Amino acid sequence: MRALLRDPSALLGAVLVAGFLLLCAAGPWIAPYPADATGAIHFALKLRPPSAAHWFGTDEMGDDIFSRVVIGARTSLWVGLAITGIAVAIGAPLGILAGFLGGRVQTAIMRVTDVFLCVPGLVLALAIVAALGPGLGHGVAALAAVWWPGYVRLLEAKALALREAVFVEAAHATGATTPRVLLRHVAPNCLGPLIVKASMDMGFAILAAASLGFIGLGARPPAPEWGAMMAVARNYMPDWWWYSLAPGAFVFATVLGFNLLGDGLAAWLDPRSQR
Amino acid sequence: MIRFLARRLAFLLLSLAGLVVLTFVISHVAPADPATLAAGPDATAGMIAAIRHQYGLDRPLPVQFLLYVEALARLDLGHSVATGHAVAADLAVYLPATLELVLLAMGFAVVAGVALGIFAAIRRGGIADHAARILAVSGIAVPAFWIALILQLLFSVHWRLLPIGGQLPVAVAPPRPLTGMVILDALLRGRPAVATTALVHALLPAFVLALPCLASILRITRQEMIEVLAAHYVRTARAQGVAPLRVVTRLALRNAMVPILAMIGLRFGFMLGTTVLVETVFDWPGLGLYAVTSATSADFAPVMGATLAIGVLFMLATLAVDVLYALADPRLRVS
């Protein structure tokens, strides 16, 4: 833990992620006008520049942008958790099975994975959302559907290496069954790379969901989702330029935080990778 | 090498078949009703039933799949409700625009990423190295749509240096299509002024598209170069008096090339995905914008067409990278 904190970029990552989690936990208390996040209307206040009363200005409904951005953190948190969680739940077992069992199981799993990996994720997600219809839930489902193959690839390689490990051989020799070897010896040793990737993917999943929101296929206004806010803000460029700054900056800080944290975790779990 | 290519082509065909199955599943098996989607938002129940029959959507799934493959083989990707054209004809117009943008962005990302990566590795621990590290970590985390809007604000609105979007000003007649890529066509048709204008329009979108890719290439180049420069054969070469520049370019870079190429291949797909965002912000008439405008207006056939086109483009790029690998490292040809 101390080694993690000595690395300045990992520390910055931890601080950014902690700040993000604080917004998620205490958003309604931090936001000065929590009602503005649910689509309150104050036309008298619309499109005001940043001021002491409204730090990031107000939007076209007169809502406080700071409040909306702060409360929007929760949406991003559950979006990130849902996409990464589903991807891990599907991808991790398949990857471990493919790498550990080999043979036809491996071939079958890896061929299906390869197909998913041959279309850029965001494009495939866009196609799926187009088929399902726009909306945040569909966006999350589509992104989860394109996200799991990365975990299969990662853990297949890891399990393949573990299959030859001496302690796995020893477990087999003492009469452990295959499910027991998988659960007690292989899976725990896959946790390191899994945690690193999941940490980074939290950020990238949030970015991808915001991207879908930005092109109008994810969350819909007035939901306080960062990408969807940017989509509306874009219509008020360039005269009301401040509108689009805050939501994007929060996406940036969050993605950067999870990324640096993942990097720090990777260096900590595998000291050889430190340079 | 020939066996390697044959095996690689067989894999390409397999992936292509997989892609066709995948798009079929999305468009025919997913909960959405393809007839409703194909009929467009304003269709009546009768029109939907007619379309269902016309496209064979009332037949069993395996038959539908054969019909789908047969239509694909004829390059029949359906019609766009919005443009009124056949999707294949639309793709032929939009694909070159995306390809041009992506090639510009990739060229810039590779040159700048490798150069900065080498520089950071040589000046390890210095200010340049720290600056490179900040660029590397922030470049992949920054939302493309956000940085695009900020650059538009600065360069197009505030300083009025660069155009805010589009491929050419309305007043400028585009060159007669040859390849479909405007800059290249303008040069080929002997209109350098038009080529320059088009290039200026491409600067901001290409930069935004290049940024995450540049960051990853910078990072991996730095990492590999630090490792290779510490190797014994590099030290030996230095001791023998080989010129420093030659050591870096001939010995070190060549040996660091395979991981860098791998990163380029990986990032190409990501870049194709990002065109969806960048083309939307910069109003760039390519596949990404086509897919987005179609998807947001429930115009389904163009979305699937663009998905197929981008998938095929990505497969070809992966193939090209694999061939480059094999050229850079003979050991990979046998495994």
Q: What's the structural domain count of chain B? A: 2
The predicted structure's pLDDT at residue A148: 92
Question: Do B121 and B268 lie in a common domain?
Answer: yes
Question: Do B132 and B194 lie in a common domain?
Answer: yes
| More confident call, B178 vs B147 | B147
Its ipTM equals 0.90
What residues of chain A, 216 to 275, have a C-beta less than 8 Å from chain B? Answer: 216-217, 227, 230, 234, 237-238, 241, 244-245, 247-249, 251-252, 255-256, 259-260, 263, 275
Question: Do B182 and B211 lie in a common domain?
Answer: yes
Q: Which of B49, B73, B97 is the last residue of a domain?
A: B73
Question: Do B207 and B330 lie in a common domain?
Answer: yes
Return the residue of A nearest to B152 by Cα. A238
Burial class of residue A229, CB neighbours in 10 A (0-12, 13-18, 19+): buried
- Inter-chain touch A215–B138, beta carbons under 8 Å: no
**Cβ–Cβ contact A126 with B under 8 A:** yes
Buried b (16+ CB within 10 A) or exposed e, A246-271: bbbbbbbbbbbbbbbbbbbbbbbeee
CA–CA gap between residue A33 and residue A120 (Å, rounded): 39
Each residue's pLDDT tens digit, A85-136: 999 999 999 999 988 888 898 888 988 888 888 888 899 999 999 888 888 9
Please report whether residue B318 resides in a domain: yes
Distance from CA of B188 to the nearest CA of A (A): 32
Burial class of residue B335, CB neighbours in 10 A (0-12, 13-18, 19+): exposed
CA–CA gap between residue B330 and residue B23 (Å, rounded): 36
Closest CA to B107 of B267, B249, B242: B267
- Inter-chain touch A130–B298, beta carbons under 8 Å: yes
CB A72 within 8 A of CB A226: yes
Contacts of B15 in chain A (CB under 8 A): 114-115, 118
Please report whether residue B169 resides in a domain: yes
Please report whether residue B158 resides in a domain: yes
pLDDT of B38 above 70: no
Question: Do B206 and B314 lie in a common domain?
Answer: yes
CA–CA gap between residue A116 and residue A124 (Å, rounded): 8
Closest CA to A118 of B332, B25, B310: B310
3-state secondary structure A89-139: HHHHHHHHHHHHHCHHHHHHHHHHHHHHHCCCHHHHHHHHHHHHCCCHHHH
Q: Which of B73, B102, B119 is the last residue of a domain?
A: B73
Please report whether residue B105 resides in a domain: yes
**Cβ–Cβ contact B280 with A under 8 A:** yes
Contacts of B314 in chain A (CB under 8 A): 118-120
3-state secondary structure A211-258: HHHHCCCCCCCCCCCHHHHHHHHHCCCCCCCHHHHHHHHHHHHHHHHH
CA–CA gap between residue B116 and residue B133 (Å, rounded): 10
The predicted structure's pLDDT at residue B142: 94
Question: Do B96 and B200 lie in a common domain?
Answer: yes
**Residue B257's pLDDT band (cuts 50, 70, 90):** confident
Cross-chain CB nearest to A252 (options B141, B152, B227): B141
Average of per-residue pLDDT values in chain B: 87
Distance from CA of A183 to the nearest CA of B (A): 32
Please report whether residue B7 resides in a domain: yes
Average of per-residue pLDDT values in chain A: 86
| Mutation to test the B interface, candidates A128, A146, A202, A215, most B Cβ within 10 Å | A215
CB–CB contacts below 8 A, A to B:
159
- Inter-chain touch A207–B21, beta carbons under 8 Å: no
Q: Which residues, at least 6 apart from A175, have a Cβ–Cβ distance to it below 8 Å? A: none
For residue B100, what is the domain's CATH number?
A: 1.10.3720.10
Q: Which of A213-222, B55-64, B146-155 has the lowest mean pLDDT?
A: B55-64
Question: Do B28 and B126 lie in a common domain?
Answer: no
Question: Do B247 and B100 lie in a common domain?
Answer: yes
Please report whether residue B82 resides in a domain: no
CA–CA gap between residue A27 and residue A72 (Å, rounded): 8
3-state secondary structure chain B: CHHHHHHHHHHHHHHHHHHHHHHHHHHHHCCCCHHHHHHCCCCCHHHHHHHHHHCCCCCCHHHHHHHHHHHHHCCCCCECCCCCCEHHHHHHHHHHHHHHHHHHHHHHHHHHHHHHHHHHHHCCCCHHHHHHHHHHHHHHHCCHHHHHHHHHHHHHHHCCCCCCCCCCCCCCCCCCCCCCCHHHHHHHCCCHHHHHHHHHHHHHHHHHHHHHHHHHHHHHHHHHHHHHHCCHHHHHHHHCCCCHHHHHHHHHHHHHHHHHHHHHHHHHHHHHHHHHHHHHHHCCCCHHHHHHHHHHCCCHHHHHHHHHHHHHHHHHHHHHHHHHHHHHCHHHHCC
Question: Do B144 and B267 lie in a common domain?
Answer: yes
Q: pLDDT exceeding 70 applies to what percent of chain A?
A: 96
Domain hosting B61: range is: 2-73
**Cβ–Cβ contact B31 with A under 8 A:** yes
pLDDT of A271 above 70: no
pLDDT of B110 above 80: yes
- Inter-chain touch A216–B310, beta carbons under 8 Å: no
Q: What is the mean pLDDT of residues B246-274?
A: 86
pTM of the model: 0.91
CB B91 within 8 A of CB B287: yes
pLDDT of A170 above 80: yes
| Mutation to test the A interface, candidates B27, B77, B149, B228, most A Cβ within 10 Å | B149
Closest CA to A120 of A149, A98, A91: A149
Question: Do B58 and B200 lie in a common domain?
Answer: no
Each residue's pLDDT tens digit, A86-100: 999 999 999 999 888
Please report whether residue B81 resides in a domain: no
Please report whether residue B252 resides in a domain: yes
Each residue's pLDDT tens digit, B277-321: 999 999 999 999 999 999 888 788 899 999 999 999 999 988 888
- Inter-chain touch B307–A123, beta carbons under 8 Å: yes
Question: Do B32 and B149 lie in a common domain?
Answer: no
pLDDT of A255 above 80: yes
Question: Do B143 and B267 lie in a common domain?
Answer: yes
Contacts of B150 in chain A (CB under 8 A): 245, 248
Hey, what are A221's tokens? 């206004």
